[in-house]
Every structure is written in C-alpha cells, then in structure tokens.
Amino acid sequence: MVIWFVINEVLLNERLNIQRLHSINRQVFGLLSLRRSCYQQPLFGWFQIRPMTSSRRVQDRSKYKRIHHLEIVKEKWKILSKVLFLMEVIKRETEMVIPVRSLYQYRKQINIPKPHKITDFIEKCPKLFELYKDQRGTLWCGMTKEAEDLLEEEERLVEEQSIKAVEYVTRILMMSVDKRIRLDKIAHFRRDFGLPIDFRNKWVNQYPQYFRVVKSKDGVEFLELVNWNPAWAITELEKKSLGLNDGIGREPGVLSLPFALKFPSNYKKVYRHGGKIEHFQKRSYLSPYADARELKAGSLEFDKRAVSVMHELLSFSIEKRLVTDHLTHFRRELVMPQKLMRLLLKHFGIFYVSERGKRFSVFLTEAYEGSELIEKWPLVVWKDKVLSFVGYRGKKKKIPTFSDLSDMEEMVMIEGDTEIENICANFEEEEIMDGLEVVSLTNDDNELEIPHVGNAYKATNDTT
C-alpha cells in the first residue's frame, strides 16, 4: 500500500509539472506574438520599433565595382611611396648616408611589416640605393648618383610649379568655414599638391599676400587666409563646362552643373533605379566657395555640395588621387558629412575608392584613361621616371667594405650604370583582390613586376 501511495504522489506531481510547463509556454508564445505585432504597428501612435539593420564592410560593398586599371595605379603608388620616403630620410642626413639599423625606426612609415627586412627592399632598388660596410662591420645605406640627380630635378620642378601650389592651398582656405586650417592637416597633402619639403618652416612664409601662419592659445599653428581672390572662387568644373578662366571673378552661389560620369565597361548599374543618376545630376547645389554654415547635414543639397568639394580637392591634386583618411580630417573645416566613405562609394561614377593595401585611396575617374592620367603634371612625369629606376632581377651583389666615404664615391664612379631596368611590385604582405596571388617580400630573385601585375588584373577581369 505504501508503495502504491508513493507512486501515485510521483505521478500526480509529474502531471502538475507538465501543466505548469504548458502554462508557461502559452505565456511565452503570447509575448512573442505581441513582440511581432510591435514591429509592425506604431507604439502609442508615434514610436515605432523595427529590427536593427546589419552593416557591411566597405570591401563587401564595393568588391564588385573594381576598376582594375586604377588598381594598377595604386600598386605603383605603394612602391613609389616607399622609395620617396626612404630618399627623403637619407637626404636629411649630413653626409646623405645612414646606418641601416637607424632605418628600422621608420619601418611603419616605409610600410615594410615584420619579419621582412628593409635591406631586402633596398637591394631591389640598386639604381637608387646602395649598401656598404665600414671597417667595424656596420651596414650603411646611401643614394646613388642617379637618385641624387632625381632629387635635384624634383626641387627644380617644385620651384617651377610653386605658384600653382600657392593657388590650390589658397583655394582650400577659401573653401573652409573659418578661412583657416591647421598647418599639420595641410602637410598631409604636401606631395599631392606639389609642396616643397620645407613646407612648414619656410614655404608658408614666402607668400604673405595670400596666407599667413597664426598660433592659437594652446600653441596650435593654423594657416589663415589673408585676401579673398574672387578670380579663384571658380570651381574646376565651371572652368571646363562653361569655359571660364581665372581672370573672371564672381560671387560664388548656387550651381546646376552635372558631374562627368565614367563607369567601367563591365559594370551594369550603379543605382538600383536608373533615374536616381539623372535626378542627382539635375539637382542644384551650393558652390564649394560659398558659405555653407546653414546647410542641414544629411539633406540632398548638403550631400551634393560635399561631392562638389571632393571633386574640387581631387582636381587640385597632381595625380587626381588622395588618401581617404587624410580627407576625413577636413570634415568640419570643409562642411562634409561624417560618413564620407559612404558618400564616395555611392557616387561611383564620379569617384573610385581603391581598398588595395592598408590605406584607401579615392580617384577622380574622369581624369584617367585606363591606368594613365589624361593630363600629366611635370611632377607626375618625374614620379614615373623614379619608378623606372626601381627594380632588379639579377643576382645579389656582395656588399663592399670601405674605410671612408671617399672610397665609396670612387667606386660609384667606376661602376657606372650597368643594372637591369625592371619595375618590381608588391613589397607588402596585405589583403589582395580576388583572383590574385599574395606576393610577399622575400629573398627570391623572381620578383613579380608591374607589367605582370597588369596582366594578372586583366586575366582576372576576363574571367569575371
């Protein structure tokens, strides 16, 4: 009897637990249905709950919009930026030679990640750099006679183009809200606008009729506009579309000029609805040189003016290309949107954003025909000349040992110009485009050259 009593109690408790569980489930399903209705119906007549949207990386948004010719331009720039930086570091030295161990403090600026060696990079450019050891066994790096001649040629070209650089810097100040910009921000664009290496210390003080350096209370240096030049308050788009020139000055106001659009042949549609392009092109906007304080952020007029500002900045640059993270520093001064990258990606026919490497770059598409600039500044031609000296596919030379610098100079005069002219590429180990192999910095003599990179891009384009 006791056993049956215990069994009945257990069964009774189990039935009660099952009933309680069913009750809880009904309550849960009731809450879920209420939650689903909240997503569809306004709450209290004005507040609406909706699911959170998922964001995507820039690469995911633009990987089907790649222009392979401009990616080749970015590859060349990655190589050239390393070479030019190293040349400037050596030039600052008293004897224009530097211990190799001292170069490792610039590993980040040169962008040669570990475990790659800077000496491997130097040995791939024997026409520009040379290595030697002193009697103590210390490894030194210097420049060849060709590299020194190239630097002298650059100084001459920068001096000849100085007035044009003054104009562009002045026009950036004219576009700014307060007519002043921090000096270190403008320094980011030194090479892009053809400014000399002594930009901060000397060059900015040579043109007091255009701008001047002022210090804030906390010691920050600003470049401030001195005189407004109405002849320069004309956008590059107005000059091309209306045939205007610098001699004509007028008050900046509302513009209704369409932007030049250029899409790759294999790209179908930029917008989901084709009419959006036409509506954007017909929309009026405020000139970049007009006061934009009253524009509401996020409005259609605000965004189109931001496109116009970006178009103007890229037109100023000698290569019609700028690094995007430098542009973000000017959002407040030039009244541009917080999410600048989204704006650039949206207007794909006007701009092209390359995600190749660690730093994104934006191109003005109308300025390029394939991978070549339509109009080349003398400094662009000079950069192409520097790039032609980069590359080596022969055997490694034995590093000579010298007792002093005079011995090394005599050796340079005897050797002369006997190296092979090739352009090698891909000195970085970074993420690359779909379909291309990773090329790391190694001691192998079989380096991938830029013409081979172009063929690889072409082959990738043909298969897509």
Render pLDDT for 380-410 as a digit per residue (tens, 0 to 9): 999 999 999 987 554 555 566 655 444 444 4
Identify whether residues 431 and 312 lie together within a single domain. no
**Do 221 and 215 form a contact (C-beta atoms < 8 A)?**
yes
Q: Is residue 157 in a domain?
A: no
Q: What is the CATH number of the domain that holds 220?
A: 3.30.420
- Domain of residue 385 covers 68-151+381-463
Identify whether residues 390 and 433 lie together within a single domain. yes
Pick from 95-109, 151-165, 337-351, 412-426: least confident:
412-426
Which of 209, 244, 212 has its CA nearest to residue 229? 209
Q: Give the integer Cα–Cα distance in Å for 461 and 464.
A: 5
Identify whether residues 372 and 390 lie together within a single domain. no
Long-range contacts of 378-382, Cβ-Cβ distance < 8 Å, separation of 24 or more: 378/157, 378/160, 378/161, 379/154, 379/157, 379/158, 379/161, 379/194, 379/318, 380/318, 380/319, 382/150, 382/153, 382/154, 382/157
Q: Is residue 285 in a domain?
A: yes
Pick from 14-23, 116-125, 208-217, 365-374: least confident:
14-23
- SS3 state of residue 418: coil
CB atoms within 10 A of CB 454: 19
Pick from 111-125, 258-272, 307-321: least confident:
258-272
Q: What is the pLDDT of residues 69-124, one digit of tens each?
A: 899 999 888 889 889 999 999 998 888 898 988 888 888 888 787 888 888 888 88
Q: Is residue 270 in a domain?
A: yes
What is the sign, positive or negative, of the torsion defined by CA atoms of 247, 248, 250, 253? Answer: negative
Q: Which helix (H) or strand (E) holds 222?
A: strand 221-225
Identify whether residues 337 and 414 lie together within a single domain. no
Identify whether residues 390 and 349 lie together within a single domain. no
**What pLDDT is stored for residue 451 in this prediction?**
40
**What pLDDT is stored for residue 12 in this prediction?**
58
* 207 Cβ contact partners less than 8 Å away, ≥ 6 residues apart: 166
Q: Is residue 12 in a domain?
A: no
Write the DSSP assignment of 154-199 as a string of letters.
Answer: HHHHHHHTHHHHHHHHHHHHHHSSSSEEEHHHHHTTTTTTT--TTT
Which regions of 306-446 does DSSP assign to beta strands (E)?
321-323, 351-354, 361-364, 368-369, 372-373
Pick from 124-138, 259-273, 417-431: least confident:
417-431
Identify whether residues 337 and 455 lie together within a single domain. no
**Tokens at residue 181, please?**
């910009």
Identify whether residues 74 and 107 lie together within a single domain. yes
**What pLDDT is stored for residue 11 in this prediction?**
57
Residue 143 — pLDDT band, cuts 50, 70, 90?
Answer: very high
Dihedral pair phi/psi, residue 210, rounded to 5°:
-110, -45
Whole-number percent of the chain with pLDDT over 70: 67
Identify whether residues 342 and 252 lie together within a single domain. yes
**What pLDDT is stored for residue 55 in this prediction?**
45
Q: Is residue 140 in a domain?
A: yes
Identify whether residues 458 and 366 lie together within a single domain. no
**Do 169 and 182 form a contact (C-beta atoms < 8 A)?**
no
Instruction: Tell me how long the chain is.
Output: 464
Residue after which a domain boundary falls, among 376, 393, 420 = 376
Residue after which a domain boundary falls, among 376, 410, 437 = 376
**pTM for this one?**
0.71
Q: Give the integer Cα–Cα distance in Å for 411 and 50.
A: 75
Instruction: Tell me the mean pLDDT in the region 269-276.
Output: 57
* 99 Cβ contact partners less than 8 Å away, ≥ 6 residues apart: 138, 139, 140, 141
Number of domains in the chain: 3
- Of 14-23, 360-369, 436-445, the range with the highest mean pLDDT is 360-369
Q: Is residue 325 in a domain?
A: yes
Max Cα-Cα span within the chain:
117
Residue 269 clears pLDDT 80, i.e. is over it: no
**Do 186 and 369 form a contact (C-beta atoms < 8 A)?**
no
Instruction: Tell me the mean pLDDT in the region 241-254.
Output: 72
Identify whether residues 412 and 438 lie together within a single domain. yes
Identify whether residues 370 and 240 lie together within a single domain. yes
Q: Is residue 337 in a domain?
A: yes
Q: Is residue 43 in a domain?
A: no
**Tokens at residue 7, please?**
């069994």
C-alpha count within 13 angstroms, C-beta hemisphere, residue 460: 20
Residue 458 clears pLDDT 60, i.e. is over it: no
Residue after which a domain boundary falls, among 228, 247, 262 = 228
Identify whether residues 219 and 260 lie together within a single domain. no
CB atoms within 10 A of CB 23: 10
